[in-house]
C-alpha cells in the first residue's frame, strides 16, 4: 500500500514539475502508438471492409486468419519483426532495428488484425436492407463504401479504439525491436519494466499511473467522438 501511495505522489511530482525524462518518454509513447494505430487503420479498415463485402474462394480462411491475428502474442510479433529487421534478415539492409520505426512496425502488425476484425463485424452488422437502400440511390462504388462505413461508424471507431488499446499497452515487441534505449526508443511500458527490474517500484508505479492517465485521455477523446457521432 505504501508503494502505491508513494507512486501516486511521485507521479504527481513528475507531472507537476514536467520532468524532462518523463516528458520525453511520454511524447515518444504518443508518437509511436498513434503512428502505429494510424497505419493499422489504413490497413485494417480496407481489409476488413473487403472481407465483409466480397465473397470469394478462400475468404473464410482469411477471416479466420484475421481472427487468429487478433489474439497473436505480441512477443511472437516482436520476434518475427526482429528476424525480418536484423542485420541478416530480409529487411536488414534498411537498418531499422532498435529504432522507433521498428517499434511502429511491430505495433502496427499487432493492431492491424484488431482493426480489421472489428471492422468486419461492424460492416456485417449493418442491416442488409440499408445496403439495398444505399444502392437504390444510384451511388457509385466509392459513394457506396463511404455511406456504408458511415452507417457502421460506431463499430469502426470501436475498431480504432481497440487498435490503439492494443499498441499503447504493448511491451514485449517494443522492447525486443526497440531495445529500450534512453532518449531514443524508451516508452512508458518499457520504462516501467526497467524500473521494476531495478527495484524502483515507486517510480515504476508512477510511470504506470502516467500511462493509465495518458491512455484514458486518448480513449476518452475517441469515445466522445464515437458517441457524439452515434447521436447524429
Q: What is the pLDDT of residues 185-221, one digit of tens each?
A: 999 999 999 888 888 888 888 888 889 999 999 888 8
* Distance from C-alpha of 183 to C-alpha of 137, rounded to nearest angstrom: 55
CA distance from start to end of the chain: 46
Average pLDDT over residues 116-136: 85
Joined together, the cell numbers standing for residue 120 give: 468486419
Q: Which of 32, 7, 16 is nearest to 189 (CA)?
A: 32
Sequence-distant (≥ 6) Cβ neighbours of residue 9 within 8 angstroms: none
pLDDT of residue 231: 54
Sequence-distant (≥ 6) Cβ neighbours of residue 1 within 8 angstroms: none
* Distance from C-alpha of 183 to C-alpha of 106, rounded to nearest angstrom: 19
pLDDT of residue 38: 96
Percentage of the chain modeled with pLDDT above 90: 47
Query: By the 8 A CB rule, do 162 and 114 touch?
Result: yes
Joined together, the cell numbers standing for residue 164 give: 490503439
* Distance from C-alpha of 232 to C-alpha of 225, rounded to nearest angstrom: 11
Query: By the 8 A CB rule, do 85 and 92 touch?
Result: yes
pLDDT in tens, 9-67: 777 788 778 788 889 999 999 999 999 999 999 999 999 999 998 888 999 999 999 99
Q: Rg of the Cα trace of the chain?
A: 20
222, pLDDT greater than 90: no
**What is the DSSP track for the chain?**
-HHHHHHHHHHHHHHHHT-HHHHHHHHHHHHHHHHHHHHHHHHHHHHHHHHHH---TTHHHHHHHHHHHHT--HHHHHHHHHHHHSTTSTTGGG--TTSHHHHHHHHHHHHHHHHHHHHHHHHHTS-HHHHHHHHHTT--HHHHHHHHHHHTHHHHHHHHHHHHHHHHT--HHHHHHHTT-TTTT--HHHHHHHHHHTT-HHHHHHHHHHHHHHHHHHHHHHHHHHHHHHT-
Query: By the 8 A CB rule, do 5 and 12 touch?
Result: no
Is CATH 3.90.105.10 what the domain over 2-230 is classified as, yes or no?
no
Joined together, the cell numbers standing for residue 55 give: 465473397
106, pLDDT greater than 60: yes
pTM over 0.95: no
Longest pairwise C-alpha distance within the chain: 66
Amino acid at each position: 500500500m505504501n508503494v502505491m501511495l508513494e507512486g501516486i505522489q511521485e507521479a504527481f511530482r513528475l507531472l507537476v514539475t514536467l520532468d524532462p525524462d518523463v516528458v520525453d518518454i511520454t511524447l515518444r509513447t504518443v508518437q509511436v502508438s498513434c503512428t502505429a494505430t494510424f497505419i493499422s487503420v489504413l490497413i485494417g479498415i480496407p481489409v476488413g471492409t473487403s472481407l465483409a463485402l466480397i465473397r470469394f474462394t478462400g475468404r473464410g480462411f482469411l477471416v479466420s486468419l484475421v481472427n487468429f491475428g487478433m489474439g497473436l502474442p505480441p512477443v511472437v510479433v516482436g520476434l518475427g519483426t526482429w528476424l525480418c529487421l536484423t542485420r541478416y534478415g530480409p529487411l536488414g539492409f534498411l537498418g531499422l532495428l532498435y529504432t522507433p520505426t521498428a517499434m511502429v512496425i511491430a505495433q502496427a502488425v499487432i493492431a492491424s488484425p484488431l482493426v480489421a476484425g472489428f471492422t468486419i463485424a461492424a460492416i456485417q452488422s449493418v442491416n442488409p436492407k440499408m445496403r439495398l437502400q444505399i444502392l437504390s440511390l444510384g451511388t457509385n462504388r466509392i459513394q457506396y463504401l463511404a455511406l456504408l462505413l458511415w452507417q457502421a461508424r460506431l463499430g469502426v471507431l470501436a475498431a480504432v479504439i481497440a487498435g490503439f488499446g492494443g499498441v499503447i499497452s504493448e511491451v514485449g515487441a517494443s522492447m525486443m525491436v526497440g531495445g529500450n534505449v534512453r532518449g531514443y526508443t524508451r516508452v512508458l511500458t518499457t520504462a516501467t519494466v526497467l524500473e521494476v527490474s531495478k527495484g524502483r517500484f515507486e517510480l515504476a508505479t508512477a510511470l504506470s499511473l502516467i500511462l493509465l492517465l495518458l491512455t484514458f485521455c486518448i480513449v476518452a477523446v475517441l469515445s466522445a467522438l464515437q458517441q457524439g457521432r452515434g447521436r447524429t
